Structure 1
Amino acid sequence: MGGASYLAQTNALFRKNLVIQKRNCRVNCCLVCFPFLVCLLLGSLQLVLTVAYFSSQRTQIDCGYCAATTKSSSANTAGGLNCTIQCPLPIAPKWPPVLQLPPEGSSTPTNLTPAPSTRTTKPSAARFLVTGANRSFAESVMRNMIPKRDGLKKFAANMSLADAVLVTKAMRAFSLGAEELGSDFNHDNPLFFLQSKCTQNSVLSFPVQEGRSNFTKDAECIEAFFLWRENSSVLNSELYKGYDQEDKHTNEIASAYDLKSSDLKKFNLVVSYNSRYKGATRISFSFSSLSFSPIMLRVPRLLNLVSNAYLQLRGGGTKMQFEFIKDMPRAASQEMRPDISFIVGKMVFIWMIMLLFPVILSNLVYEKQQKLRTIMKMHSLGDMAYWTITYCYFLLLSLLYMLFLICFGSLVRIKLFKLSDYRVQFVVYFAYINLQISFAFLMATYFSNVRTASGRWIILMEFFPPFSLYRIIYEFSPPPSPFYRTDFSGIHWEDLSDNKNGIIDILIIMALEWGIFLVLTFLLDEFGTLRNGIRKIREVVEQLLQTSDSSYSVICDDLKKLYHGKDGNAEKIAVTGLSLSMQRGQCFGILGPNGAGKTSLISMLTGFTKPTSGTAYINGMDIRLDMGKIYTGIGVCPQFDLLWETLTGREHLLFYGRLKNLKGASLRVAVEHSLKSVRLFDGGVADKRVAKYSGGMKRRLSAAISLIGDPKVVYMDEPSSGLDPASRRALWNAVMTAKQNRAIILTTHSMEEAEALCGRIGIMVNGSLQCIGNSKELKAKYGGTHVLTVTTAAGEEEAVEQLVQSLCPAANRIYHISGTQKFEMPKQGLRISEVFQAMEHAKSWLNIAAWGLSDATLGDTFIKVACESDITSV
């Protein structure tokens, strides 16, 4: 029967893998659901941080004004405890301008919000420094700076609040949760107004609306002094002298004016004000909040006062009225939630995705380590079918893994997955997982042990593809710090053309690497070390010198296998110039001691190792050139069982039957027959997992696998080892039936098995065949003796030996222990009747407990040939 087609091979492998994955469903589910567990943990941590963040913000953010001015805002609730970070402001209120005075006690306050005691303390005076080229002109301007309002008790109805110079000493930080400009008019913030000279109990009272309540705000009077300085150098020196000093009264200067060369025709001005206070750009950090709070500087009123004073000096009734200031209309900004992806870092997500790499690598190396890939290949599974199904399985697993990761990550609001376009994420991650699979395939060629593959060496190998993954995570992530308030909204489809994000470059690099890895994997698999580290380099040979007889299934032509010495050891010749032929319908047995070269011969004939020289032809095909075709017509029972622990005996036979192109009813009949022939059918044994089989049951299953599908050549390496007598007999019957139409090569240590099964027997010693023939021919040629066994009392051994010497002077004692002796007697010139008569007569004068005469066995022949070969080699 010809080998299975590519589709039949992929179907067989797919069915086999599907059964294995169903049996491993718990492991697969745990792997695929691992992103769910991690995202659930991250989501829970995200929730805890968010709750802690807003809990801390409730005591810091006053949204009462926001609730009052924005009635339609759904973000504000009673008490203002559940407000957005910045309230919506469709119509900004108007507020009178306020002038800033240094907080009393120091020019460099350490607190942004003064203590209650400080708030209630009235400033002694407001000091302004003045200089200029024209002193008289400068002093005239300064006299017009402060309007005179003597004896004020309350705010006059016809008076504009802009006419009063309101001042505050409270240093207000820009707060993202309160109204910056209106905060000066709150209940707890004292306001003052400037006068050239204050009368007793001068108070300016004016109405203020805060939220839904109205109240009257009182501003006490403080005096303003404008102090002349000779020039700008003196002014600058005085400002600098007290800057950032600890002396409380050194520098309480509100501002300084340098009028330069100003006069009535031109106005040239420099205003100096303290724009830097200790803590003026405070950055506060806690577990639950991150804030950036610059000081709100009140500069415009300083300019307005001097400008308006200049206009009044010029006359003409011109006045620069500073009526109000107002914020710009704005929409509400949402909560700046702490992002868990920023806190845990990008490497966590990289290792989550890279978790698939050791899984893929371990699975590939496991099949290599257990020789499962080899035994499948020996049963005609093609490389393309194997790589296709294996690749598709890992691709499907990776897709499910990434789908769960992105979906669950988005559900718990991880910005890394939520912000960017899902189409872009699919394309990029799909490219990466293909790259990761191909890289795992490439790395699998360098490992032969799962423990090594999953150990410390894997860390070094992971450093290459993760560079691409890190760039992907970097581009999809929000800015690295919450201090950056940017408009980052992820990567979208139209952004692929933007060279700044580099996504196109990543895709190109990953596509090139993916192709390179797959090509290298194919080359290393085809020409490399997937077969015990021995390279399978094909050799182009000349045409056969002679045409082989088609009736011969196996022809070995001077096969030789040499293992080169390593670490100072000598070379080892495993097989030396072996030549033999085998016809169809014949079972050829190979006997030999351990290390004789039997397994090396089978390995060369099955393509497991490459011959050092010579070749062999299987059904007319050269093992050096046509092993792919040869595999379609052979069956192999290896020395050690190569089975999947999770599959049943029936499932093994179904898989290998499909590889031999069996289908439908023919497949079912062949499987049933194979199970019955090796006594694995009854009692439900066929449908038990191999993990529950005994060693003998596994051995019988391996033999059944080698015979299914009608292979023309079958190799059996010690098939009956470990079997009980009944199972051994059943196996022998199966082999005897199977050899009718095929050639079987069988290695064994059992002389009984060789005699029962093998039409021809070869004894192999030191890598070469010493003799070939059937059992009778070998015993006749190398045996040719009778063996006389005599058991007597311990003191009569010498008398028995003399008796035997009298019967056959050429007799040789080959065994002697505890009164039992064996003598080898040449058949030539020896009459069996004389031996019987002599032994019966000896019973009258010797105490003979037992005696017997037999021909030499095949075992005796084997021992003799082996001993003679050892003597010759020495």
Structure 2
Amino acid sequence: MPRDGHPLKPPDMSFLVGKLIFVWIVMLLFPVILSSLVYEKQQKLRAIMKMHALGDIAYWIISYCYFLLISLIYMLLLVIFGSFVGIKLFASNSYVLQFIIYFTYMNLQISSAFLMTSYFTTVTTATVTGYLYIIGSGFVGEYLFKPFVEDTSVSRSLITLMEFFPPFSLYHIIYELSPPPATGFYSDFSGVQLGDLSNPENGILVLVIIMVLEWATFLFLTLYFDEFGCLQNRMRSRQALQRPSIHPQQSEASIEIDRTDIMREREIVDRFLQQPDSSYSIIIDNIRKVYPPKDGNAEKVAVKGVSFAIQRGQCFGLLGSNGAGKTSLISMLTGFTKPTSGTAYIDGLDIRMDMSKIYTRIGVCPQFDLLWETLTGREHLMFYGRLKRLNGAALVEAAEQSLKVLRIFEGGVADTFVSQYSGGMKRRPSVAISLIGDPKVVYLDEPSSGLDPASRNALWNAVKFAKKDRAIILTTHSMEEAEALCDRIGISAYGRLRCTGTSKELKAKYGGTFVFTVTAAAGEDEAVEQLVRSISPTAKRTYHIAGTQKFEMPKQGVKISEVFRAMEQAKGSLNIVAWGLVDTTLEDVFIKVAKESEKCPD
């Protein structure tokens, strides 16, 4: 009890903490929002969501609502806690007024984070910048802005201009809602009520108006910058529409002009352009991708006028060495990059103009796993199933079926966080995501990389079952996988499609030889070579190391029975350890086409 007999006023805890701490606490969600958005950008999660039919506007609305809900819960708990412990910043002011102010500022903070997302590509940079931003702006507000506010000689217009910097607006709000410093630890501050909102002395109404204007402006700029790249690409696409299409027959005086299978593909494409055929799910029309010069290097032509067609119910295997243009082609077909010229039609829709509609009809398994580390395999399938407009029992059934078919169901793996999956294990949900929701076209970019034999076999069975009513483009370096899954195979090199056909057709066309392998004792290499020449005078030695030699023997003029007879007779005079005669493999075809392409890369 004080000496005058009156009870002490309740203590003001905010007097001890200071205004700067509350500014930092309110702004604490800013770097969290920023880093979360940049994480999805860095990991290309937003790109894969877009490929599975999540539109740009829908993405921003969902993200905005999520962060707004988190922000409101955060501020609600802060106000409740502050009122409970006697912080008059929260306890003495009108709760309706506080809701209006904090609701407005949280929306401004979210829109600010959205706008800054376009300037960052890594989570680390965004996080560090976000925390430096709130710490630095807090100090600037305390030691620069605060003296201006307290100085009555400073023009109100200057104060208003400074308040267009969002942290200054927040600092001024905290300043006006806090007890004056002169009241000390025991304050009789009665707070600011809703009726004081329009009081020109505190300027709160002006602050709210400024924040609302910035909120709307930042959202507009976010959408503008987000769509700016797309608009540029659309303009380039329209310019490409005005250019005359250059067909391979006219521009390619190279290896492709003699390939009847490539010419046949071109004819199918031309026939489709004149009279669309619904039996073809994918039509690629002379598509070309050129990357502009960078860091002093010349422009890079990744895809050079590729044309081919894929029917529904068919799996097309796209083979090629690293740098052959496979991933660049897939990137264009999925809308990840725009073609420099030419186009493709997916289920009758043009990738230049109708990509938003195409996304609802395709499934994509990228070369690298694009998954959330904090979600389980089942949650991934449920999420992407909803994007493909599945819901209720149909969604649950589709997810469970995918888990079983690709063996994600075993050992509780389906309900384990993806961060705990091995590299090969992550491929399974990636493939399952591409097949869920009954897409009409599926792109599988090296889907079996890192898988064990049992899991690879399960994946193959899933792909064989899935291709019955859809078109699939599969890229792989496994010749065994290509032969097991693909109805037709195309081999690309130096950005061009060099040949197409079934595995048997390619072997017959490019593999008119037997591969004859002989391993003999040291010092008998010349004798073995003479033996092979006696069987096939035109045989060509392709390999020779440590007593083992490989020869290519033309099939014409060579009888298998004669080879066996000659080798049996030779065992008496030569020390032959082992020998074998095999037909040409798809791998031999691949190597031969690649070597032939080196002679004429363009």
Same fold (TM over 0.5): yes
* Structure 2 contact 405–462 (Cα < 8 Å) conserved: yes
**1:684-735 CA-partner distances (Å, limit 9, x unpaired):** 3333332333322221221111111111000000001111112111111111
SS of 2:190's equivalent in the other structure is: coil
Per the alignment, residue 129 of structure 1 pairs with none
**Does 2:9 match 1:83?**
no
- The amino acid of 2:597's aligned partner reads S
Which residue, 164, 169, 180 being the options, matches 1:479? 180
Per the alignment, residue 149 of structure 2 pairs with none
- State the 1:812 CA deviation: 1.1
SS of 2:216's equivalent in the other structure is: helix
Q: C-alpha distance in 2, partners of 1:676/1:402?
A: 44
Per the alignment, residue 429 of structure 1 pairs with 102
* Structure 2 contact 13–185 (Cα < 8 Å) conserved: no
Seen in structure 2, the aligned counterparts of structure 1 residues 770 and 416 have a Cα distance that, compared at 3 Å, is same
* Structure 2 contact 31–130 (Cα < 8 Å) conserved: no
Q: C-alpha distance in 2, partners of 1:666/1:597?
A: 38
Per the alignment, residue 850 of structure 1 pairs with 578
SS of 1:786's equivalent in the other structure is: strand
1:130-145 matches, within 5 Å, as none
Per the alignment, residue 206 of structure 2 pairs with 505
Per the alignment, residue 419 of structure 1 pairs with 92
1:65-464 matches, within 5 Å, as 82-83=1-2, 87=4, 334-335=8-9, 339-456=12-129, 459-460=132-133, 463=137, 464=165
- The amino acid of 1:850's aligned partner reads A
- The amino acid of 2:355's aligned partner reads M
Seen in structure 2, the aligned counterparts of structure 1 residues 409 and 667 have a Cα distance that, compared at 3 Å, is closer
**1:616-665 CA-partner distances (Å, limit 9, x unpaired):** 11111111211111111111111111222333222222222222222333
Q: C-alpha distance in 1, partners of 2:184/2:516?
A: 103
- The amino acid of 2:196's aligned partner reads D
1:674-823 matches, within 5 Å, as 674-823=402-551
Report which of the two has the higher share of helix. Answer: 2
Per the alignment, residue 393 of structure 2 pairs with 665
Which residue, 298, 305, 312 being the options, matches 1:577? 305
Which residue, 199, 219, 226 being the options, matches 1:518? 219
SS of 2:360's equivalent in the other structure is: helix
Q: C-alpha distance in 1, partners of 2:117/2:234?
A: 17
Seen in structure 2, the aligned counterparts of structure 1 residues 436 and 771 have a Cα distance that, compared at 3 Å, is same
Q: C-alpha distance in 2, partners of 1:491/1:749?
A: 70
Per the alignment, residue 594 of structure 2 pairs with 866
* Structure 2 contact 179–187 (Cα < 8 Å) conserved: no
Q: C-alpha distance in 2, partners of 1:504/1:607?
A: 46
Per the alignment, residue 163 of structure 1 pairs with none
* Structure 2 contact 34–130 (Cα < 8 Å) conserved: no
Seen in structure 2, the aligned counterparts of structure 1 residues 470 and 834 have a Cα distance that, compared at 3 Å, is same
Per the alignment, residue 150 of structure 1 pairs with none
Q: C-alpha distance in 1, partners of 2:382/2:133?
A: 41
- The amino acid of 2:217's aligned partner reads I
- Compute the TM-score of the two structures, normalised by the length of structure 1: 0.59
Seen in structure 2, the aligned counterparts of structure 1 residues 479 and 625 have a Cα distance that, compared at 3 Å, is same
- State the 1:614 CA deviation: 1.5
Per the alignment, residue 340 of structure 2 pairs with 612
Q: C-alpha distance in 2, partners of 1:710/1:418?
A: 56
Which residue, 380, 386, 389 being the options, matches 1:652? 380
- The amino acid of 2:497's aligned partner reads L
* Structure 1 contact 445–529 (Cα < 8 Å) conserved: no
**1:434-476 CA-partner distances (Å, limit 9, x unpaired):** 0001111111122221111111366358853212111111211
**1:746-803 CA-partner distances (Å, limit 9, x unpaired):** 0000001111111111111111111111111111222111111001001101110111
* Structure 1 contact 526–536 (Cα < 8 Å) conserved: no
Per the alignment, residue 308 of structure 1 pairs with none
**1:97-137 CA-partner distances (Å, limit 9, x unpaired):** xxxxxxxxxxxxxxxxxxxxxxxxxxxxxxxxxxxxxxxxx
* Structure 2 contact 9–186 (Cα < 8 Å) conserved: no
Per the alignment, residue 168 of structure 2 pairs with 467
- The amino acid of 1:654's aligned partner reads M
- The amino acid of 2:21's aligned partner reads V
- The amino acid of 1:419's aligned partner reads S
- State the 1:478 CA deviation: 2.1
Q: C-alpha distance in 1, partners of 2:293/2:210?
A: 44
Per the alignment, residue 636 of structure 1 pairs with 364
SS of 2:517's equivalent in the other structure is: strand
* Structure 2 contact 516–579 (Cα < 8 Å) conserved: yes
- The amino acid of 1:400's aligned partner reads I
Gaps of 5+ in 2: 138-164, 243-271
Q: C-alpha distance in 1, partners of 2:85/2:397?
A: 55
Per the alignment, residue 220 of structure 1 pairs with none
**1:305-364 CA-partner distances (Å, limit 9, x unpaired):** xxxxxxxxxxxxxxxxxxxxxxxxxxx585595x55344432211111111001111111
* Structure 2 contact 287–304 (Cα < 8 Å) conserved: yes
**1:139-171 CA-partner distances (Å, limit 9, x unpaired):** xxxxxxxxxxxxxxxxxxxxxxxxxxxxxxxxx
Structure index of larger Rg: 1
Q: C-alpha distance in 2, partners of 1:716/1:452?
A: 33
Per the alignment, residue 495 of structure 1 pairs with 196
> How many positions carry a matched residue from both structures?
544
SS of 1:549's equivalent in the other structure is: coil
SS of 1:643's equivalent in the other structure is: coil
- Compute the TM-score of the two structures, normalised by the length of structure 2: 0.85
Q: C-alpha distance in 1, partners of 2:331/2:13?
A: 57
Seen in structure 2, the aligned counterparts of structure 1 residues 866 and 472 have a Cα distance that, compared at 3 Å, is same
Seen in structure 2, the aligned counterparts of structure 1 residues 537 and 645 have a Cα distance that, compared at 3 Å, is farther
Q: C-alpha distance in 1, partners of 2:370/2:430?
A: 8
- The amino acid of 2:418's aligned partner reads V
Per the alignment, residue 277 of structure 2 pairs with 549
Seen in structure 2, the aligned counterparts of structure 1 residues 482 and 670 have a Cα distance that, compared at 3 Å, is closer
* Structure 1 contact 556–616 (Cα < 8 Å) conserved: yes
* Structure 2 contact 286–306 (Cα < 8 Å) conserved: yes
- The amino acid of 2:102's aligned partner reads Y
Q: C-alpha distance in 2, partners of 1:479/1:358?
A: 30
**1:821-868 CA-partner distances (Å, limit 9, x unpaired):** 000112223233322222211111001111111111110111111112
Seen in structure 2, the aligned counterparts of structure 1 residues 561 and 400 have a Cα distance that, compared at 3 Å, is same
Per the alignment, residue 289 of structure 1 pairs with none
Seen in structure 2, the aligned counterparts of structure 1 residues 596 and 749 have a Cα distance that, compared at 3 Å, is same
**1:208-267 CA-partner distances (Å, limit 9, x unpaired):** xxxxxxxxxxxxxxxxxxxxxxxxxxxxxxxxxxxxxxxxxxxxxxxxxxxxxxxxxxxx
- The amino acid of 1:768's aligned partner reads R
